[in-house]
Structure 1
């Protein structure tokens, strides 16, 4: 079983040989540090694994097998933000643990994970304590030797890692003290990155996310790369069941699908349509779990809002049992999709499309001429969908039409978001307008789905001899909310349907 720890640290290096000879300054009296307690020296032997083309290192991930010290075992480090990483540990063994291999699968896929670099470190450890003896941070001074193929290199590195719950401002105070003593924050994000540099390797770098030029094709491809990278980056978080991770991964799927549809004059749909269908499949597999989570939270909130006199019978217990049964199967299905060949093939196909894009003639045109037309086309599509929905009689036909309008609002929003870096304020305003329509229609669709679930829960309760009264009250409440949304839609749409968009976008 893998264990996870949030690691907040800062790495330092000596700026001169004179500073290195003086060593690490005494930190007693720095911020809340009252005692620097020597913990002795340990010898560490770490072998770092990666694909031959270093896909993990390119994204700032490190996977190692380390012996020595108190935490011998396998460690996978996933970047969270500068200076912050999640370290996921697994027991020592001869092969990469399955739990860690799954977390890097979106990057590794069918490539082999092989030893790349060996780091031998002599680590002197000190605990930084406050006046009450509470651990604030761990100070490590590492004499490191890196070995890669026939090359080797040595250096000294100083690291300060915060204890759980300690204010990161402590690191700022330590850095200020270190600077005066001739230490600076290391340029290398990790020991592995420095080892690759010091041994004459070519540290991998992610390509510049900015468009290569000012053509429509460059802007669209830059946006698609961003979403592809987001999809891959959120994969480990989904597997770890982190909050909002499924939602963010689905959003990346939707944005790519929308971009394929919005920019059919830029990218050949013969290539993008099949990919769009695969992204739809992936979003649907992930969505089962996410949608159940949202539905459960909605009904749970509605129950909490009811007066106690209207909650009759084991309502909360039935809801929990119903949710647990559905969530267990939906999560298994989502993870099965991520572990399957179809998903890996989709990621490979996205990489292939971005490496050799099927560009159409409009791709070579200036982005300022092509993007506004695509954005306004999606906006006009939204206007048609809204008008059609408002013409429908209340009931299931209108519900379906409003759901279609919601999808059109998402597509218009994503198109405007993607164009904002180039088109600026008008695209940003259109994004806001589409989002307001999407939010209203999203709440309406959630009410439709909630009513279906509440009806089923009421039937289950009645079948078990329980009162179905509360489920009926909740159903009526959701029905009233949907009707209110439908009444508000014309006003929300009038505010969103700003005729200046077209002129401001120059189309």
Structure 2
């Protein structure tokens, strides 16, 4: 079932009860006022006891009355907010299509009512010269109750201007919101200090709610080497969870970004082993590796599909027959759809939710080595305890050493034509994975230590990662062309087109390595500066 989805772009204004409604046809984009209707709306908002959704700037409500009664969830977005809707059901039966968007945040915690918001709304449709809707203007008279401990009843009036029709996400829409804001302020309104009716309804009662697990733990001093590691893990954890619902909705590039967050999280755990010490680390690393593998199946199919389309679009020979073109164009999409379905099954599993819980506990209670014990050991041996920057540098140096070891293996073996092609290419692929780990480590260390300027090193590693990523994409696409050719051969079809494109990807892989030596030299210079 496809969940209705909307991009919500709006501006909210606080207004006195006695202020007259504005004349909105003075706005350049508004030619006339369309239908004006009064609605009586009543919404119950749901969240966990520790307000996991509210703290993530997500609202979940069940609303009756008006033209769109039902379940609604609003998610943060770069342009505004994404609103998803589902039909009205019983209060205790939150639809699966709604729950899937918040499963990574809520997990197994029960959802319960946290506020009731009743609203007498006078809604007007604003039309342009072509009688097309450009916005909705709502004059809201709100009464709300916070159901949290210490919650109170509050009332207020507010205006909302929400873009409609084709306007959300456009420059014209942005300009209309700007003009409306200027005009309504001139009419006595004030830009609302609250991002939503729910936040206004809860008020200070939010302070009475407990913190969710990943925010309820101990705070490390910024000078502690573990502080940098934990903050890096926290950022990766937040990224992983933010991409989860987008992957479920199959948004563009979402699988790639969730895979990046998964790999970066695992890389930090491996690179900074010894700063954090726990048996749980191996479990988390293994589970993240499996999650990255499942995401990788879909990502590889996605990348290969894009490359195949580019190969077809750029072909100037005219030698690709229609049958081969159809398979090259369509077969990877079917493979991606199957792989994406496996991802969704994984994200719905108890195993995945348990992994997220364990990561949260690790962040809340990081298993750091007791600094007091380290000092005592240093004093007994007559030495001084290592400074935080020295500890971080040692871990960074170890990651750099691993990269140089793999680089030497590439230098010694890639040109050896007596070795199998895939073995030589695996050496290059290992180089890319190690460069990625060094980059992640450099970024984490640079954010934590003012003494270690790791920016150049991180940028050089990113350049190498990109260069070798192009190489690996060409290799992956080439191998899939070989598979398609074998399938075509078994069907008795012409395989010439597959062989021609196979050779093009061989050439693309070779071209990707042309800047390899220069980028490695940049990495060496970047590390030497430390």
**Counterparts of 1:62 and 1:353, CA distance in 2:** 27
The TM-score with structure 2 as length reference comes to: 0.88
Partner of 2:61: 64
| 1:186 to 2:192 alignment | yes
**Counterparts of 2:278 and 2:356, CA distance in 1:** 18
- Which among 297, 300, 314 is matched to residue 305 of structure 1? 314
**Counterparts of 2:486 and 2:438, CA distance in 1:** 39
Determine if contact 1:129/1:136 at 8 Å carries over to the other structure.
Answer: yes
Partner of 2:152: 151
- Which among 416, 420, 443 is matched to residue 446 of structure 2? 420
- Which among 22, 39, 43 is matched to residue 42 of structure 1? 39
Render the CA deviation track for 1:250-296: whole Å, top value 9, x for unaligned.
Answer: 11111111111111131115332221111111111112111111111
- Which among 178, 198, 214 is matched to residue 172 of structure 1? 178
Q: How far apart are 1:79 and its partner, in Å?
A: 0.9
Q: How far apart are 1:205 and its partner, in Å?
A: 8.1
Partner of 1:287: 296
Partner of 2:74: 77
**Counterparts of 1:198 and 1:296, CA distance in 2:** 51
Determine if contact 1:11/1:185 at 8 Å carries over to the other structure.
Answer: yes
Render the CA deviation track for 1:408-434: whole Å, top value 9, x for unaligned.
Answer: 011011112223334579411111111
**Counterparts of 1:257 and 1:20, CA distance in 2:** 55
Stretch deviating more after TM superposition (158-167 or 424-433): 424-433
Q: How far apart are 1:123 and its partner, in Å?
A: 0.2
Q: How far apart are 1:26 and its partner, in Å?
A: 2.2
- Which among 81, 86, 108 is matched to residue 90 of structure 1? 86
Q: How far apart are 1:400 and its partner, in Å?
A: 1.4
1:317-356 to 2 correspondences below 5 Å: 317-356=326-365
Partner of 2:380: none
Determine if contact 1:313/1:467 at 8 Å carries over to the other structure.
Answer: no
- Which among 395, 402, 405 is matched to residue 384 of structure 1? 405
The TM-score with structure 1 as length reference comes to: 0.92
Render the CA deviation track for 1:444-481: whole Å, top value 9, x for unaligned.
Answer: 22222222211111111122222101100111122223
Q: How far apart are 1:486 and its partner, in Å?
A: 4.4
Q: Structure 1, unaligned stretches of length 5 or more?
A: none
1:81-480 to 2 correspondences below 5 Å: 81=78, 84-94=80-90, 95-149=93-147, 151-166=152-167, 167-197=173-203, 202=208, 213-268=222-277, 270-360=279-369, 367-392=388-413, 393-394=416-417, 395-423=421-449, 426-480=453-507
Q: How far apart are 1:200 and its partner, in Å?
A: 7.4
Q: How far apart are 1:132 and its partner, in Å?
A: 3.4
**Counterparts of 2:24 and 2:388, CA distance in 1:** 55
Q: Where do 4+ consecutive residues of structure 1 move more than 6 Å? A: 198-201, 203-206, 362-365
Render the CA deviation track for 1:113-164: whole Å, top value 9, x for unaligned.
Answer: 1222111110011122233333221011111111234732211121110113
Q: How far apart are 1:348 and its partner, in Å?
A: 0.3
Would the alpha carbon gap of residues 349 and 311 (structure 1) be closer, same or farther in structure 2, given more than 3 Å must change?
same
Would the alpha carbon gap of residues 145 and 334 (structure 1) be closer, same or farther in structure 2, given more than 3 Å must change?
same
Secondary structure of the residue that 1:87 maps to in structure 2?
Answer: strand
Count of residue correspondences: 498
Render the CA deviation track for 1:229-263: whole Å, top value 9, x for unaligned.
Answer: 11111111011000111111111111111111111
Q: How far apart are 1:5 and its partner, in Å?
A: 0.5
**Counterparts of 1:412 and 1:40, CA distance in 2:** 60
Q: How far apart are 1:86 and its partner, in Å?
A: 0.6
Determine if contact 1:153/1:198 at 8 Å carries over to the other structure.
Answer: no
**Counterparts of 1:412 and 1:272, CA distance in 2:** 19
Stretch deviating more after TM superposition (31-40 or 284-293): 31-40
